[in-house]
Amino acid sequence: MIRPIKRHQNASLEHSSRQADSKSLSAHQQQLDRYHMQNCLDLIKDNYDQTVDVPVAAAIINEAQEVIGESINQSITNNDPTAHAEIAVIRQACLRQGNYRLSKCTLYVTLEPCLMCFSACMHARVDRIVFAASDYKVGILSQAVYPKIHAAGNHHFCWTGGVLADTASQRIQDFFRLNCRQ
């Protein structure tokens, strides 16, 4: 699903070559991050059958703050273990841009990326990753192994975690509570 391009009003993207938590970003950037993450959370609300896939949504925003890809997790729906939201949005954004690189783009996702999605971001040269809830089982950015991978790679990007994390975590907890009852 690709919706028409949306543009955030008065938007400008700040770039950083360092890892950054929310507190170190400008108030404007924090506002942009919350805006795009809220759109991801709204995507879950609008599209999810809570009995199927784990509710995770992602979006890719280009330098002009346009949404060039947005999707929810569809692994179970599509019988495809690679159909994580991040992979879907990378595919959409690359098709839309006619380029297999996503330089100067930011990927927003409501759950910390796994190794597969992190690697896809590296291959796509995504400029920045912003996630909401941490994934302490398979999330890669907050794991101890991350600095080693980061140091070994030839593409370095900035990432920020914890944006609207409580709401994103609640969506996932609600999903598992509902499904455990069945």
Active site residues: 86
107 binds Zn ion (CB under 5 A): no
Tell me which stretch binds Zn ion (CB under 5 A): 5-13, 14-22, 57-65, 80-88. 80-88
Minimum CB separation from Zn ion for residue 58, in Å? 9
84 binds Zn ion (CB under 5 A): yes
The three-point CA angle 29-117-49 to 5° equals: 85
| Three-state DSSP state, 106 | strand
Of 25 and 130, CB closest to Zn ion? 130
Of 20 and 114, CB closest to Zn ion? 114
Of 30 and 142, CB closest to Zn ion? 142
Give the helix ranges, DSSP H, for the chain: 27-47, 75-78, 85-97, 115-124, 146-152, 165-180
Going by the DSSP 8-state scheme, the letter that residue 3 receives in this structure is P
117 binds Zn ion (CB under 5 A): yes
Tell me which stretch binds Zn ion (CB under 5 A): 51-59, 67-75, 77-85, 102-110. 77-85
Of 65 and 143, CB closest to Zn ion? 143
89 binds Zn ion (CB under 5 A): no
96-102 — which CB contacts under 8 Å span 24+ positions? 96/2, 96/68, 96/69, 97/62, 97/68, 100/124, 101/125, 102/60, 102/126, 102/127
Binding-site ranges for Zn ion (CB under 5 A):
84, 114, 116-117
